[in-house]
Each structure stands twice: as C-alpha cells, then as structure tokens.
Structure 1
Amino acid sequence: MKNKKIIILWHNGGRLANQLWLYINLFSYAIEKDIEIKNPSFYEYARYFKNEKQTFASFLSYFLPRKIIKLIYLGYAKISLKINNKNSISADALTLLPPSTEKYPDIFKKLETGEINSLYTWGWLFRNPEGIKKHHQKIIEHFKPKDTYLIKAEKHLDSLKNFKHIVGVHIRQGDYKTINDDTFTFFQEEEVNIFLIEYLRYFNLTDKETCFVIVSDGEISLKKFNEKLNIRNFKGNLVEDLFLLAKTDIILGSNSSYGQFAAYYGNIPHIAFNNKGTDWSQQK
C-alpha cells in the first residue's frame, strides 16, 4: 500500500485544460515513482471524472459562485501550505520531473526515499514531457469522464459516420476577444471559414467527404461559413466539448491548452489557427 503522496494545493487559476496539464505532468511522475497523488485543487471539475473524488469544495461548487468557492478554497490551501511549509515546493519556474530528467528538486527525492511522507505542490510549471508520453495509456484511463458526459459526444459523432473525415474545430472566444497578443488571437467565423477551405485544398479532401464539428465557448453563426462546407455546431459543456474533440481525426483551432489537451488525449494532430498563415506542409 502506498504511504507516500503528493498533494496538489494550487495550479495557476486557469480553467479545465490548464489544470489537467498540471495534473497529468505530476500524475506521470507519481506513476513513475509509485507515489499516491491527490488533487484537492481540482475541486471544480472532479465531478465530471470517473476516478476523481469530490471534496467539500466540489460540493460547494454546485450552488455557490465560482469566485466565492475560489476564495474559500484558497484560504484553506494557504493555511495548508503554511503548516506544511517544510514539505512543500512551488513551481515559479519550469520544473522538470522524472523520467524527463535526472536533475530535479531534492524535496522530491526526500519523498521517494521516505524521508518525508507527503509533498505539497503550488504552481503550474511542473512538467514531465517524457512521462506523459510513457504513461499516456494510464493517464487516459484515469482521466475518463463519467458516461453521462461521454455519451452525448459519442452520439453526436455516431450521427456523422457517413463522412470519411471528421475534423474537430475549436473556436475560443471569451477572454481571447480582449487579449492583445498574437499568440492568443481571436478569430471570427469568416476567418475560420478560410482556414477550413485551405485545409481541404491542401490535403486534397472534398467537402462532401469531410465534416467539421465546431465547439466554442460562445455563440457561432453557421451562416458565415461557405454553404458547401459540412459544418456541425456541437453544443456541449466544457467536458463534453473536450472529449468530442479528442475523438475526431484531427483538431483545427485556437492556440490554446484546451485544443492541445484534447489532441494529447486522443493522440491526434492539432493545428493552431495562425493569422500570419498556416504552414500546412509541417502538418503532414
């Protein structure tokens, strides 16, 4: 029975995909070293996953505003961090973990040898690129959504079986509409329409055999797309959208951790929209 454990106290305040990226990087380290891992900071999304236990903060999220729960949870997390300060580590800068590196913070080694039994983490920059590759299958098994959320996505994709190619399209709106940064550009439907036509043309696909399934955190006007394109607008929640994307053949979309995680989970390509032009030759 495992008696050594990692407790993830806090991430970076981001939403589902950002939290999942942190979680799986530490999770893969825990698998590598046979260490238990708990993530109370995942309280907002634990309810959607088969293998995640809901905490008191999780239950509060059913009826209290997100901001209020965050304040309550952060109060608890900061107290826990203060009490366990000697057994904690913050990732203010990139922190690689095994099997991605042999040089990593000594406090992890103390956990491995049993010098300490618990390690509390704070921050988002724990990374384990080799670990998430090596343990991909175990990661996707652990992070399976509950059937309630998966079935809706699967039913929608089943209705598209007549198409040879199913392309997931992620259009992030929300904060991307106001961020003034070329890396995180918001694209209007008319611009996305051009990307989709370019995609078909470059890969020599026909509009008849290809279906584009759009997910977005905002309203989408299908009238702004070329009428020859087969477009479907899937309207699920944050989790349903994520796992629908993961089950498509390829993802085109905004440059965000959301589409990137869906691609990782589904082991499929992800091509980000680029306002300076997409180099499709790099995607083959």
Structure 2
Amino acid sequence: MRKLAGLMAAALLAALVPASAARAAEPKNLQVMSWNMCGSQNPSWGCATHGGPQDKINVVKYHVETNFVQAALLQEVCENDLTALMSQLGSGWSKAFQPYQYSSDGVRRNNTCGGTRTDRIGTAIVIKAGLADARAYEIEQSWTGQARPFHCATATYWGARLCNVHLSPKGNNPDHPDWDYADDQMTDIAAIVAGYPTLVMGGDFNVSPPDKPGNARAWVWRDGPYNAGYRECDQEGDVRDGRPTIGDPVTGTKIDYIFSTETKRWCAVGDSAYSDHNVVIYSVAVA
C-alpha cells in the first residue's frame, strides 16, 4: 500500500511540473550556402573566364564535403549543370529551379544558358534531407528588361523556409535606366516572408549594404530584411555591412547576403576562381 501511495504521489508531482520546465529540444545546426555561379555561356553575361560547368559543380561539392553545407541557394545556374550537380551529390538531395526571363513590354521568354546550349538558366534551391512546398512568388519586375525569380522551399528536416533572392540592379529597364526596382522588390519580399517563423533567405541582392560609405542606393533597403529584424550572416553588431563578395577583396563590395531568424553560429566568405562572386555560408542553430 505504501508503494502504491508513493507512485501516486510521484505521478501527482509530475503533473504539477509546468511544461516549460521540460527539457528543451536540442537545436539543429544548419549550414546554408549562397553563390552566384556565373554559369551562363552567353558572352554578354561576362562568365567566359570563370571556368566550366564541372569546375563550378566542384565548388559546391567542396563546401558540402568540407563545410558541411546542407542547403544551397544558387543564382545563374544552368539547368543541365544543376542536373549534373544533383547526380554527383547523390541520394538524399532535392532541388527547386526557377528560370530567368527577359521581358519585352511585358511579354516574357525564358533565358537559355547560351552559346551552343539551349537549356534554361535560373536560380535554384538545393536541400539535403527533404524539400517541400517549393513555390515561386511574383514580385515587382521591370516591364522591359531582365526578370529574376524569387522562390522558396521548406527544408523539412529543420522545418525552415529557405528563400532565394536575385534583385534587379539599377538600370535593369533599358527604356528607363534611371529607375530602380530593388526597393519595391524588397517590399514585396518582406510581405511574403513575414509569416515564416523559421527563415533563411539569401542570394545576390545587386546592391551594397546600407551602411557602406558612399552607397547612393542605401535608400532601397527601407523595407529590406535588415529593418525587419533579420540577422545577416556577415553583420557585426549593429553595423549593416560586411566583407566584399564581388570585386577586389579589399576595395570590392558586398552584394551577396544571407539573412535568418535563427541563432548565428558562424559565417564564412570564400572566393573562387570559377565565378565573379564569392561564396557565402551561414551556419545557424535552428531551435
């Protein structure tokens, strides 16, 4: 009888312990890479001197194997090269692809890789351990000029929404080269991602950080992710700047970013001979 009473008392005590006192789940580390691969074979894209498809594939594989990258946000990737990358990464990896399109008075056509190749070129989200709900979203684009997609997919193992960004540079519309679309694009993106509790968003923003001295386009960040409370990979304290990701390592500028809602573990920026952009890797602890 005493044993039964003791068990009942223990059960009652356990019932009185608040749920918040239960041991919290260990966070899951997630390494996300963003890289503009400069994969076009079209001479006007300026990628001819940056190696071939396998060179670029090897860069992604290197960071997967060496820096434990589990997701990649890729820009300017040719579709056939993406297929080759997936076959070399092996089982357990999934992809979502969206093409670049050129708009002529609102009529869009897909961009191709160029040269002798007719496969499309675009942006991709590559994820290990499950990809779900891949979706492209319409954001502001110039009526005439290059249209760059914005899309997201869920990394199911982490329960995190990953989004790939490639904003328009100033002068994107040849009919109105003084018009800037990046501010409206950031406003649209902010509305889309606002509902995602766990977010990693990165890519080629085609604009310098708001706190970079002399940045005449700093105003386009008004509704950008810095002001929405997201932490950027290379951000130190409250200074919204970071290491160059394009051009000279000292005098160049940062235009590639990764933002997240999650706790920062580390950030890496690495150059490559196989693109005019550096690789950015953000390691976060997903609660």
Structure-1-length-normalised TM-score: 0.27
Greater helix fraction, Structure 1 or Structure 2? 1
Rg larger in structure: 2
Structure-2-length-normalised TM-score: 0.27
